[in-house]
Amino acid sequence: MKFYILPGPFRLGFGITGDHERREKDYTGAWGGIAEFRYLFEGPTPHVKRLENIIKTQNRDMLWKVDEWETEWLDNNWTSEDLLEFVKTIISERHLPIKQIR
Amino acid sequence: MLPEYQEVVRKPNVMKNRNPLQQSKAKVVPLADRIADLQNYKQWQKLIAEYKRQGIILDPKLRPLIKMIKLKFIFIDEDIQRALDAKHCTKIAGIESFDPRYLQVIYCTKVPGKEEYHANDAQHTATLVAALIDAGVFLNESDWREVEMPVLYIETTNKAFARKAFALINGKGKKKISLWYEHRTKVLSVRIDKSTDPDDEEAERKQTICEKYHCYPVDTESVFTGLPGTFTHMQALNMDDDILEMACKFHNDYFHYDEINGALWFMMDDLYKAFSAAHIKITDKFLAELAGILQGYFAGIAQFHESVKGAHLRWGIYTYGYKVSWQDDAIAALLVLMYQKLGGTQQIPQPLLDRFAKILDFVDDDIKDLFVEKELELA
């Protein structure tokens, strides 16, 4: 399972996928421009899912909300590097067997 | 080989100073503060703007009135109200618990032009008060017909309105008190009001056990949900003190950096009961080994819980040929089966191993891959 960080046209995105190439194409098709994951991590499914969940929980107030819908886009000018740093800290602090592959 | 638990840096738990149940002094705010809260809420602002846009003006006379009414003027519409629950009345009037100060106002619709009040709610209150008076329980009162009770009423001949009002009072459209608020009432009754009611004392005792290990029950709608040590699964407080303490300690020792997942309670309850029945001691070493599995293979209890649910679903379909309902005892069972598979040496009560014997075959492939890797390492 992979975790990705995606600089979007409006906000910074993140998510998990089993097939990152397919997912990049989905984004490209949806927003009409080439989408490329800036950073990519890989690890066992439970750990990658947990990583995503931690990001959502700890930054709940910064997730872009459309009415009541909590999206996987970060508001408040998060940069790819900000999230990269956050992810690396979580991986290190919690000893998650997740490796950066891009 | 069992994965070894790796220490995670402990950070100060922010809930320690923000715990809404820690107060020992009452806090009173004026109604104006609450009005300001509501007026700051965007949806409220939108609603009021819509009232103004539509030019809606309400007649103040439509608000209910309150009056002391003799009980002989109270009537019950049997097609609106439920039948009298004599058992419920008897329970309310129980000698240990009944206090006249808890009596509620009677909600009625008044027939215009007549002294006739039809109870939409609190028929049980009216009935049991009248019956207690009739029994001579109230000082210097003997004729219930002449005794007055406070009645909140509106005047109408519209029975449909009364029907709706009854549904409203009994739940529909009313914000129900959550289990957390019920717990809060009991805890603060002891901490602020020094209540000695056994129910209140029990709730406070459980709360103290939780706080000792930096675990904090919070309301599902609270801003604190998701913070380390918080939990919303209030049924946890129904567990025996010893089990609650073991669960909270386990969380604080190994997963203090996470919110508490509901699986913790089921897991600890089942382990404690199974080990106790088999007269096997749960050692600290064993708990540390379990924590190692949960951390090493699942990054904590939340993902373990999700994995067990997936495995249980597939196991059920394989075993019975259809989707079986979720069984929370699969949580502890799968954990100890993994423990044995990974070479754990602690004696495990056999019933824990038998219940879901084949479930390990249905865990996610990622996890199974880890087993295979470990088995190859051992080989």
Could you give the ipTM of this predicted complex? 0.81
Asked if B304 and A46 come within 8 Å (Cβ–Cβ), the reply is yes
Q: How far is B369 from chain A (nearest CA, A)?
A: 10
Residue type present at position B368: K
pLDDT tier, B131 (very low <50, low <70, confident <90, very high otherwise): very high
In this structure, chain A runs to a length of 102
Nearest to A47 among B226, B259, B299 (CB): B299
CB contact under 8 A, B9 and A60: no
Mean pLDDT value of segment B328-352? 95
Work out how many CB contacts closer than 8 A connect A with B. Answer: 47
Distance CA A47, CA A58 (A): 16
| B58-62, B172-176, B307-311, B336-340: least confident range | B172-176
Query: For residue B202, what is the DSSP state?
Result: H
Q: Using pLDDT thresholds of 50, 70 and 90, give the confidence band for residue B62.
A: confident
- Hey, are the CB atoms on A1 and B257 less than 8 Å from each other? no
Residue of chain A nearest B259, judged by CA positions? A57
pLDDT of residue B170: 61
Q: pLDDT at position B309, please?
A: 96
To the nearest whole Å, the CA of A87 is away from the closest chain B CA by: 14
Task: Show the DSSP H helices in B255-364 as ranges.
Answer: 263-277, 284-298, 301-320, 330-341, 350-354
Give the nearest partner residue to A96 out of B299, B307, B366, using CB atoms.
Answer: B299
**Does B43 reach chain A within 8 Å, measured CB to CB?**
no
The lowest-confidence range among A73-87, B46-60, B251-265, B278-292 is A73-87
For residue B379, the model assigns a pLDDT of 55
Quick one: closest CA in A to B368, which residue?
A: A44
Report the pLDDT value the prediction gives residue B157, as an integer from 0 to 100: 81
Give the model's pLDDT for residue B337: 95
Q: Which of residues 345-364 of B touch A (CB under 8 A)?
A: 364
Distance from CA of B289 to the nearest CA of A (A): 16
Query: pTM for the whole thing?
Result: 0.76
- Cα nearest neighbour of B4 on chain A: A95
More confidently predicted of B175 and B300: B300
pLDDT band at residue B14 using 50, 70 and 90 as cut-offs: confident
Interface check B304 vs A, CB under 8 A: yes
Q: What is the pLDDT of residue B331?
A: 97
Q: Which residue from A46, A57, A58 is facing B303, i.e. has the nearest CB?
A: A46
Query: What is the average per-residue pLDDT within B233-255?
Result: 97
pLDDT bin (cut points 50, 70, 90) of residue B378 is low
Helix and strand numbers (H, E) in chain B are: 15, 7
Contact (CB<8Å) A47/B367: no
Specify the pLDDT at position B107: 87
Long-range contacts of B271-274 (CB under 8 A, 24+ apart): B271/B332, B271/B336, B271/B352, B272/B242, B272/B243, B272/B246, B273/B243, B274/B332, B274/B349, B274/B351, B274/B352
- Cα of A23 to nearest chain B Cα, Å: 21
Q: Compute the average pLDDT of residues B151-157.
A: 87
> Considering CB atoms only, which of A45, A46, A95 is closest to B6?
A95
| Closest Cα in chain A to B292 | A95
> Best interface-test mutation with A: which of B303, B338, B369 has the largest number of A CBs within 10 A?
B303
Phi first, then psi, for residue B100 (nearest 5°) are -55, -20
How many Å apart are CA B377 and CA A26, to the nearest integer? 40
Which residues from B are below 8 Å from A50, CB to CB? 298-300, 302-303
Q: Are B218 and B224 in contact (CB under 8 A)?
A: yes
Task: Give tens-digit pLDDT for B344-359.
Answer: 999 999 999 998 989 9
Rounded Cα distance, B13 and B329, in Å: 30
Greater pLDDT, B283 or B174: B283
Bridge partners of residue B265, in order along the sequence: none
Cβ atoms of residues B183 and B237 within 8 Å:
yes
Contact B306, A46 (CB under 8 A): yes
Per-residue model confidence (pLDDT) at position B162:
67
Instruction: Answer whether B298 sits within 8 Å of A46, measured CB to CB.
Output: yes
User: Could you tell me what percent of chain B has a pLDDT over 70?
Assistant: 92
Q: What is the pLDDT of residue B350?
A: 96
The predicted structure's pLDDT at residue B156? 82
Q: Which of B28 and B330 is assigned the larger pLDDT?
A: B330
CB-CB neighbors (< 8 A) of A96 in chain B: 299
DSSP SS3 for B67: strand
**Has residue B313 got a pLDDT over 80?**
yes
Which segments of chain A have a pLDDT < 70?
Answer: none
Name the residue type at position B356: F
Q: What is the pLDDT of residue B20?
A: 85
Residues with Cβ within 8 Å of residue B4, at least 6 apart in sequence: B292, B296
- Assess contact for A14 and A3: CB atoms under 8 A: yes
CB B171 within 8 Å of CB B95: no
Q: Is the CB of residue B302 less than 8 Å away from at least one CB of chain A? A: yes
Span A31-53, pLDDT tens digits: 889 999 999 999 988 999 999 99
**Cβ of A46 and B299 within 8 Å?**
yes
